[in-house]
Amino acid sequence: MKKFYRQIVEANDRGYENSLSHVIRNPESKYFNGRADNTLLVEPNYHIGTVHSAATLYCCPESRHYRDKSLLPNIELACSYIISKAHEDGTTDFRATNFFTPATFELHSVVRAYKIFEKYGGSSPAEQETLGWIKKLLEKLALGCLNGGFHTPNHRWVESAAMLGCYNILGWPELKEKVNKYLAEGIDIDEDGEFTERSPGMYNGVNDNALLMMAEEGNMPELYPHVKKNMDLLFDYIEPDGTIFTQNSRRKDKGEGSASGKFYPGGPYYHIYLWAGYLFNDKRYLKFAEQIMEDSIYSGRGTPGPLWLYMLIPELKEFEPDLSDVEVPTAYSAFYPGSDIYRRRNGFWSYSIIANNPNFMFFKCGDTQMYLRICASFFAVAQFMPEKLEKTATGYKMFFHSHGEYKMPFEHPTTSIWAEMDHSERGVIHPCDLDFTVEFTDLDDGVKLHITTDGTAEVPFKLEYVISPNCRVETADIVTEATAGNQITVKHGQVRIEQQAGEEIYIDGTFASHLYHSSMRGSVPQAKDAFTIYSTDDTPIDRTVEIHFKKRESVHEL
């Protein structure tokens, strides 16, 4: 988009200039000419950024580094350094975690740098020598793709995109042959648009980028529907504060329910939605790209910098669509049975019900996040974590079964070694069962939960509300700041959770009969980065809780 182009160029100029200060200049160092990160870790492939940035800026008329000949030796140094550190088979070491790995992610940048420099870099001997160095780097790293493998599902598509880009430059048939083998496995995406890794904060975007590149480099428009399904899905994962709901992820963006963990649709998603929006003439995607950029700049998280996209699609420099009447959805209800998640949002509030997680329900109201847990002190196996979320005639339901028992002595033991005993032959006495059911019903301004148990009686039970520490908590008798690591137990009545901006959460139906909660055996430890409200009782449980969301109309008096 034209309105952001100059800011993107400036961000790339600053980024390149800052990177020069990270190059190791000491000839006595074993990392001489390498590039360090902020932790002083020197990765062989960090210089990919040097190659990409310098090649792109050298060719960009709006950059202050345009046609600056001092960039050319930096590109050569970076290429030669990476080549010297690669293994003989072309694989490289990512010292932070992976060794003898193909440089698949990095190759995307090298392919783009080569294409840009080949098109705009000039024909002088020095410029052609620089292009030759980028090609040498491509050859080395492409060899690594042929000799390397993958260890997560998304790497297949990242690698395939890299190999197709290299194939179009180098013409090695083996590259395309390996891509075809990956494609023969089929794209790992379900009918709802969810990839295997279910990672909206990180790897879904990686897949979208890779498939867009594969479609372009391999002339495979049949890949576009997969990308569009996942990009459409993301709209149902955007929270009221602009973050992405990631707690159903199978990768590290899940964060295990941390109240402070946040993922924003920043740089990676900006270029994906701009690229796809332009390609498909989809104004929703373009509007979302605009929102991502504006929010990232306004909040101080930086300027997404895909200058390469503007260089490869120069029409974007003057592209200024009218998006004044376009809106990204802010109200929806969506059930995805394949992922066992229900997402509902209505403007400033949202909630999510998810299976396979002790944090089975998440709420977002403005900037306040809250999630729920249930546990009973029952043989240390009764942390509520259902495997499925079921749709019912009135809403949704979760069920969880827990079992405990005692063993009897053997009638005729054959050994005294515990590990060699066949414990399935032991008798069982006093088997105990405890079943939980939670039913969810949408309300106009929130949700109702009906919590019941069947089975063993007199088991201590707790329901906990875990709240991000940026708000105030009020009952009929107390007002307190929700500070991290602290807690209250509310015996009855209503709880109001408010934040300064004016959004409020109301909890109706609190209860308490004991204080055995934070130390309960078998339960997830109390969150140290959040404030907790406890409700407690003894089984059998038959409780109804309602959670409502409101905008504050006036200041509440004490």
Model confidence at 267, pLDDT cuts 50, 70, 90, reads confident
Is it the case that residue 530 has pLDDT exceeding 70? Answer: yes
- Predicted local distance difference test score (pLDDT) of residue 240: 94
pLDDT digit string (tens) for 14-61? 999 999 999 999 999 999 999 999 889 999 899 999 999 999 999 999
Residues in Cβ contact with 8 at an 8 Å cutoff, skipping those fewer than 6 apart: 303, 304, 305, 306, 307, 310
Neighbouring CB atoms inside 10 A of 180's CB total 11
Instruction: For tokens 């959004």, name the residue.
Output: 503
CA distances (Å), 313 to each of 42, 162, 275, 306, in order? 33, 19, 9, 11
Q: Which amino acid is at 236?
A: D
Mode of pairing for the β-strands spanning 460-467 and 487-489: unpaired
Is it the case that residue 262 has pLDDT exceeding 80? Answer: yes
Model confidence at 261, pLDDT cuts 50, 70, 90, reads confident
Residue 434 three-state SS: strand
Residue 246, Cα to own-chain centre: how many angstroms? Answer: 5
Token pair recorded at residue 64: 């202050």
Give kind and range of the element (H or E) at residue 550: strand 542-551
Q: Averaged over 453-476, what is the pLDDT?
A: 96
Between 488 and 256, residue with greater pLDDT:
488
DSSP for 240-255, written as a single string: TTS-B--TT-SSGGGG
Is it the case that residue 258 has pLDDT exceeding 70? Answer: no
Model confidence at 500, pLDDT cuts 50, 70, 90, reads confident
**Percent of the chain's residues with pLDDT above 90:** 93
Is it the case that residue 548 has pLDDT exceeding 70? Answer: yes
Q: How far apart are CA 37 and CA 48, in angstroms?
A: 13
CA distances (Å), 124 to each of 65, 130, 375, in order? 17, 10, 72
Name which of 35, 44, 39 is nearest 15 in CA terms: 35
Q: How far apart are CA 338 and CA 193, in angstroms?
A: 10
Name which of 548, 541, 370 is nearest 464 in CA terms: 370
CA distances (Å), 484 to each of 193, 260, 512, 529, in order? 37, 10, 22, 5
Is it the case that residue 257 has pLDDT exceeding 60? Answer: no
Q: How far apart are CA 532 and CA 44, in angstroms?
A: 45
* Domain 331-551 fold: Beta-galactosidase; Chain A, domain 5 (2.70.98)
| Under 8 Å between Cβ of 182 and 159 | yes
Q: How far apart are CA 101 and CA 103, in angstroms?
A: 6
Model confidence at 553, pLDDT cuts 50, 70, 90, reads confident
Average pLDDT of every residue of the chain = 95
pLDDT digit string (tens) for 131-145? 999 999 999 999 999
Is it the case that residue 129 has pLDDT exceeding 70? Answer: yes
Is it the case that residue 259 has pLDDT exceeding 70? Answer: no
pLDDT digit string (tens) for 321-340? 999 999 999 999 999 999 99
- Predicted local distance difference test score (pLDDT) of residue 254: 82
Cis peptide bond prior to 268, omega within 30° of 0: no
Domain boundary assignment for the chain: 1-149, 331-551
Token pair recorded at residue 250: 């199978």
Q: How far apart are CA 21 and CA 281, in angstroms?
A: 41
Is it the case that residue 268 has pLDDT exceeding 90? Answer: no
Model confidence at 558, pLDDT cuts 50, 70, 90, reads low
The terminus-to-terminus CA distance of the chain in angstroms comes to 50
Give kind and range of the element (H or E) at residue 488: strand 487-489
Is it the case that residue 557 has pLDDT exceeding 70? Answer: no
Give 542's strand partners. 452
Q: Which amino acid is at 505?
A: I
Is it the case that residue 256 has pLDDT exceeding 60? Answer: no
Lowest mean pLDDT among 167-176, 261-270, 456-465: 261-270
pLDDT digit string (tens) for 193-238? 999 999 999 999 999 999 999 999 999 999 999 999 999 999 999 9
- Cβ burial, residue 523 (10 Å; 0-12/13-18/19+): buried
